[in-house]
Amino acid sequence: MSYFKQFSKLLKQFNRSEDGAVAVLVAVLMVLLIVFAGMAIDFGMGINTRRALSQALDNAVLAAANRLSTEDLSKDKVEEIIDEYLQANLKGSLGKGVELKELKVGYEPGGDEVSASVSAELKNNFMPLINLLNGGGDEHRMLNVGSSSTARYPRNNVEVTVIVDVTGSMYTHMDALKSASTRVLDALLPVGTNEKKSKIRVSFVPYSEGVKLETTLAEKATFYVSTLGCVHERVMDQAATDVAHDYEDDDGNTDYIGSGDDDCPTKAKVVPLTTDRSKIEDSIDDMEAGDGTAGQTGIAWGWYTISPEWADFWPDDSQPQPYDTKNIRKFAIFMTDGEFNRHYADKFDYSHVEQQRIVKIRQKRNRGTWTEGPNPDGSNKFTRSEHQWFASRIRWEEGTSSGESGIASVRAKAICESMKAKKITIYSVHFGDDKFAERVMKSCASNESTFYNADSDSELIQAFETISNDIKDIYLSQ
**Residue pLDDT, tens place only, 155-214:** 788 999 999 999 999 999 999 999 999 999 999 999 988 888 888 999 999 999 999 999
Strand boundaries in 166-210, DSSP class E: 200-207
Amino acid at 377: D
Predicted confidence at residue 123, as pLDDT, reads 62
Select from 299, 47, 61, 316 the least CA-distant residue to 161: 299
Strands 342-346 and 328-336: unpaired
Listing DSSP states for 96-149 in one string gives TT-EE---EEEE-TT-SEEEEEEEEEEE-SSTTHHHHHTTS--TTSEEEEEEEE
Q: Which residues contact 88 (CB under 8 A, 6 or more apart)?
A: none
**How much helix, strand and coil, in percent to the nearest 5, is found in the chain?**
45, 20, 40
Amino acid at 310: W
Strand boundaries in 125-199, DSSP class E: 142-152, 157-165
Sign of the Cα torsion 130, 134, 136, 137 reads: negative
- Distance, in Å, from the CA atom of 404 to the CA atom of 103, rounded to the nearest integer, reads 58
First to last CA, the chain: 34
Q: What residues form DSSP beta bridges with 117?
A: 104, 148
pLDDT-based confidence at residue 23 (cuts at 50, 70, 90): low
Predicted confidence at residue 53, as pLDDT, reads 81
Predicted confidence at residue 156, as pLDDT, reads 80
Predicted confidence at residue 54, as pLDDT, reads 84
Predicted confidence at residue 33, as pLDDT, reads 59
Q: What residues form DSSP beta bridges with 385?
A: none
Predicted confidence at residue 478, as pLDDT, reads 44
pLDDT-based confidence at residue 475 (cuts at 50, 70, 90): very low
pLDDT digit string, tens, across residues 333-374: 999 999 999 999 999 999 999 999 999 999 999 999 999 999
Alpha carbon dihedral 415, 245, 263, 341, in 10-degree steps, equals -20
Select from 109, 122, 113, 291 the least CA-distant residue to 209: 291
Q: Mean pLDDT, to the nearest integer, of 418-447?
A: 96
Cβ count within 10 A of residue 456:
12
Amino acid at 206: P
Which position has the higher pLDDT, 384 or 44? 384
Which one-letter DSSP state was computed for residue 270? Answer: P
Predicted confidence at residue 10, as pLDDT, reads 52
The CA distances from residue 97 to 35, 39, 86, 100, in Å, are 20, 17, 18, 10
pLDDT digit string, tens, across residues 146-157: 788 999 887 788
Q: Which residues contact 321 (CB under 8 A, 6 or more apart)?
A: 157, 159, 308, 328
The CA distances from residue 239 to 79, 225, 304, 414, in Å, are 50, 18, 12, 9
Select from 332, 320, 296, 307 the least CA-distant residue to 425: 332
pLDDT-based confidence at residue 280 (cuts at 50, 70, 90): very high
Select from 47, 68, 52, 43 the least CA-distant residue to 118: 52
Percentage of the chain surpassing pLDDT 70?
82
Q: At what angle do helices 295-306 and 407-421 cross, to 10 degrees?
A: 20
Query: Does 3 have pLDDT greater than 60?
Result: no
Check: CB of residue 254 under 8 Å from CB of residue 387.
yes
- Distance, in Å, from the CA atom of 70 to the CA atom of 198, rounded to the nearest integer, reads 5
Strands 451-454 and 425-431: parallel
- Distance, in Å, from the CA atom of 442 to the CA atom of 465, rounded to the nearest integer, reads 19
Q: At what angle do helices 351-367 and 384-391 cross, to 10 degrees?
A: 150
Predicted confidence at residue 420, as pLDDT, reads 98
Select from 448, 457, 417, 453 the least CA-distant residue to 435: 453
Percentage of the chain surpassing pLDDT 90?
66
**What is the distance of C-alpha 372 from the center of its chain?**
47
Predicted confidence at residue 476, as pLDDT, reads 47
Predicted confidence at residue 95, as pLDDT, reads 59
Query: Does 25 have pLDDT greater than 70?
Result: no
Q: Which residues contact 331 (CB under 8 A, 6 or more apart)?
A: 158, 159, 160, 161, 424, 425, 426, 427, 471
Q: Is 455 exposed, middle or buried (0-12, 13-18, 19+ CB in 10 A)?
A: exposed
Lowest-pLDDT range of 162-171, 237-246, 258-267, 411-420: 258-267
pLDDT digit string, tens, across residues 105-137: 999 988 889 999 988 777 655 545 455 455 455
Select from 126, 121, 149 the least CA-distant residue to 64: 149
- Distance, in Å, from the CA atom of 72 to the CA atom of 155, rounded to the nearest integer, reads 10
Which position has the higher pLDDT, 68 or 122? 68
Query: Does 8 have pLDDT greater than 80?
Result: no
Spell out the SS3 assignment of 71-90: ECCCHHHHHHHHHHHHHHHH
Predicted confidence at residue 21, as pLDDT, reads 56
Dihedrals φ, ψ of 90, to 5°? -85, -10
Three-state DSSP class for 143?
strand
Q: What residues form DSSP beta bridges with 431?
A: 454
- pTM metric for this prediction: 0.78
> Average pLDDT of the chain?
87
